[in-house]
Chain A
């Protein structure tokens, strides 16, 4: 019940004019970002962080703006999936399977309306899940000492590598690269410079915002250069019809939506698995449960409702570990974590105690934003369709330039811009080699904290390293970490989106 009282307080925070306007702006921008192929939630949010930061927005409004973008992108991704058969972002990949056939049958309007409703259902119930599950997780996390935290960070990397990537070794490499980057700079505990090679610019370390924007946004520009002219929207068959879904269709999909919401939420809560996995699992389970006449893949409305409810529910679920433990469950929540860290707010159990207004204001804003998104996405969908027609050759230069503006705004240093380009090239090569980028980001974000908790734990026990497995809680976390890393090898490829062969795979936006 406490949660409900806190939520009521949150609504008083969220219901100011400024916060409502920011939520509206975020939802609008988010839908566009989601709809445009090549811009997805993680790189969209990544570009906006430095801007929100340099504009001097306080924590709560900044977080409201960016999570609205995140939720909005989950809604927007479906538009190009349904109309163009090009997923607007990776989570919307599964929506192409039945959404595009529906559009070809002349049911584009119905598909868009139905998927809008499914998105709303998924996001709405997942936000309720967040309200009740996050405080529970916080009460567990309060028992954590440094040793448990170290195990928890390892767990996040292990499940991320095990579940969300195609090759465990490459995920481990990615994590090591990211953590390695985080060790550059003056060591905060001993006060000695590390890996700075006497370069003054490196004494403060490498700002993780530069790494994020470079790896996600700039590398995207390079991918577009390589595949010039491909994947451009043709405005041939974009007859929308009426954007409403008949009641009978919504009813027929109610089962699919509710199952997918639960599955998507669970997939989101799991550290290391994000919205893409949520929509994948929802679609494949729904296909097993209700595809009796082999209609899935030929424009079955349930095949549109399931992945959309699933990915929106996963987006809400992924916020649970990010807020309650400070360990993000997906690429985009990692980027949101970067935002919090840049504002000097450490997520985790203490956030709920010290800044309840931030947490609950954010959650209340999610409820409000979700309603805005539903209202925006059904009547205004034709507006977003028009935005889709902007070809990437105009869009990508603007994306690159806005990225530069954001990074320059943080530091005012052109050295950082060169580093940014370096990360862009590195991100491009890593993507080509099928090395996941999310562990790199997570490493640069969490490396510092991870090392701190390791050193504290061993220091408290006076140099005894066995303290790392010294409590049942820590042992449990380690067991789960090992399981999460190894089990996918044994269980096989079942829980992983089979996107390796699709063209979207390499350009895919992680989450």
Chain B
């Protein structure tokens, strides 16, 4: 079933891709192969490839149970939130919190997760920023 859905998604994606390709403006210079031709080919390959799993699906993949799905959604939310607040609060604080949350969800006891989050954050800051001179996000407090 998963494979069939995947195949349908590929077909829809290919349709959308080809449709978008057909609305690419052509440049001022007329050339034998314009900017649309190659996307048409790729869209066709995607559609053809998508047909196969619809008719000959593989075995059902081993999807995570409800707990696993929640964990993954939570981790995704943490990472997106991290990207959002990185420039607001600066590198060190955002990273410590994000690393601690991820560590906690990976099974570290909360206190240890907090400590390891701070260590990871400060460690990266020291190695990459102070020693190697990489520019990291600066928050209102400069770190």
Contacts and interface: CB of A to CB of B under 8 A. Distances in A.
A229 interface: yes
**What secondary structure prevails in chain B residues at the interface with A?**
helix
Nearest to A167: B58
A183 B18 CA distance: 12
A172 B75 contact: no
Contact of B71 (A225, A420, A454): A225
Given A396-B102, A397-B106, A176 B45 contact: yes
Interface string A424-440: 11001000111100000
A447 B14 CA distance: 16
Interface in B62-83: 62-64, 68, 71-72, 75-76, 79-80, 82-83
A466 interface: no
Interface string B21-55: 10011110101111101110011011011111100
A194 B21 contact: yes
B80 A434 contact: no
A180 interface: yes
A222 B3 CA distance: 21
A176 B42 CA distance: 6
Given A192-B26, A398-B120, A402-B124, A225 B32 contact: no
Interface of B: 2-3, 6, 10, 14, 17, 20-21, 24-27, 29, 31-35, 37-39, 42-43, 45-46, 48-53, 56, 58, 61-64, 68, 71-72, 75-76, 79-80, 82-84, 86-87, 95, 98-100, 102-103, 105-108, 116-117, 120-121, 123-124, 128, 132-137
B95 A458 contact: no
A499 interface: no
Nearest to A161: B49
A217 B30 CA distance: 43
Interface string A394-413: 10111011101100110010
A327 interface: no
Contacts of B46: 173, 176-177, 180
A225 B102 CA distance: 9
A227 B45 CA distance: 34
A114 interface: no
A398 B33 contact: no
Contact of A414 (B84, B105, B116): B84
B116 A397 contact: yes
A221 B116 contact: no
A393 B84 CA distance: 24
A190 B21 CA distance: 14
Contact of A459 (B31, B58, B61): B31
B120 A401 contact: yes
A225 B39 contact: no
